[in-house]
Amino acid sequence: MTTEIIPFVPEPWPYVPAQLREIANQVAQDENPSFTVRELLSWFYGSQRRGRWIVSVIRDAFDELNLMTEPDFDATYLDAFVMFMHKTEVKQSTATTPSPSEAVTPVSAAATNRVITTLPTTKAQVDPTYRIGRLALANRPPVTASPDTTIEHAVTIMFMNDFSQLPVMTGERDVKGVFSWKSVGSLWSQGHKFSRVGDAMDQHAEIGTEASIFAVVNLLRQHDCVLVRDRTTNKISGIITSYDISVTFGDLSEPFLILDEIENHIRSLIEGNFSNEELVQARDPGDSERQVAGVKDLTFGEYMRLLENPAGWGKLGLQIDRALFIKGLDDVRRIRNDVMHFDPEGTDKSDIKKLRGFVEFLQRLQRIGSIELKR
């Protein structure tokens, strides 16, 4: 995922790429072309992620052409296909946005004989919920077993792949239960004998791709795994375990934790080296009413304003290049602005690498400073 960069916007506005105009022509001829979300993003300045600005640009273009996608391009997986249609083709089944934990009632798209879901289509109805369908985990069909699979075969699959469970299914849509170490152990402990997976399975839990990612967390408190059902195709599209969700949230939380540590380091560098008057002077001129009683009252941008001044930089007594340090801070500020608008697709790997590198640099500075103080 690449950090969103706001490019020069050409006139006239809204910007409508040629690919989208061609799609509008096809829709006008009662066609409903489908493309992946990733392809759609690429038409808008080569974008690779759904930042706030680019989503707004796309919605402006949709409004201009009276288009929408089903499912909504901002509520589904990056590599999932979305179908283009006129906004008037789908009648809203309810006047309110569906609850994050509720299934959205499917309706039939007569023109294509496909099952579609009703999602918000206008700016006033933009869906703010982070839905499970946006995660890669919800879009990787699981390895399964049939009810007649032998216990030995199922156990071997689990051993070889380090699985804790296997969904028991008779097709892409029909789930019978879940076979797991827990289900096997529970029966064996009571002296039961069985040879088929169908005789040693528990009930399964499932959730729709349109549900909130936080609804999955609640289900995982009661179940070892949760199956994800794609409401467009009605197929099981993924499986999520407690381990998966912990890794996912761990990846999502890492940049927040690093940014917090970076800010603590910067405050530590500034603390005691500037008078309160100098801190007040670093305050954003457009926010002159805000009280500044200490370093903690400054924003990240104000830290930069304080340190990019040669006189202010000199107060730190650091024998390192000021311009490079400020450039590093500016990179952190840019990444911070993106991270603080939480996105379940996560932070770009190159940005994570920059954050890790900068915090390690600050940690080294702190260690060196501590050695000098001891001397």
Task: Name the pairing type of β-strands 106-109 and 114-117.
Answer: antiparallel
Q: With beta carbons less than 8 A apart as the criterion, state whether 167 and 178 touch.
A: yes
Q: Which residues of 213-229 are buried (b: 16+ CB within 10 A; e: fewer)?
A: bebbeebbeebbbbbbb
118-129 pLDDT, tens digit per residue, is: 333 334 344 556
Bridge-based pairing state of the strands 81-86 and 67-70: antiparallel
Confidence of residue 137 (pLDDT cuts 50, 70, 90): confident
Could you tell me which of 91, 86, 85 has the C-alpha nearest to residue 105? 91
Pairing of strands 81-86, 206-208: unpaired
CA distance 300 to 282: 11
pLDDT for residue 300 is more than 70: yes
- Within 10 angstroms of residue 13's Cβ, the number of other Cβ atoms is 11
Q: Which residue has the higher pLDDT, 300 or 214?
A: 300
Q: Report residue 335 as tokens.
A: 């990444």
Q: Which two tokens stand for residue 255?
A: 């940049």
Lowest mean pLDDT among 33-42, 98-107, 343-352, 361-370: 98-107
Q: Where in the chain do CATH 3.10.580.10 domains reside?
A: 136-241
CA atoms of 51 and 74, how far apart (whole Å): 10
Q: What is the DSSP letter of 271?
A: T
Q: What is the mean pLDDT of the chain?
A: 83
Angle between helices 349-374 and 242-270 (to 10 degrees): 40
| pLDDT of 145 higher than 80 | yes
Q: What is the pLDDT of residue 69?
A: 94
Query: Does pLDDT of 375 surpass 90?
Result: no
Phi and psi, residue 225, nearest 5°: -150, 160
CA-wise closest residue to 76 among 188, 191, 231, 275? 231
pLDDT, tens only, 147-185: 999 999 999 999 999 999 999 999 999 999 999 999 999
Contact between 6 and 45 (Cβ < 8 Å): no
The CATH class of 136-241 is alpha beta
How many angstroms separate the CA atoms of 155 and 186, rounded? 15
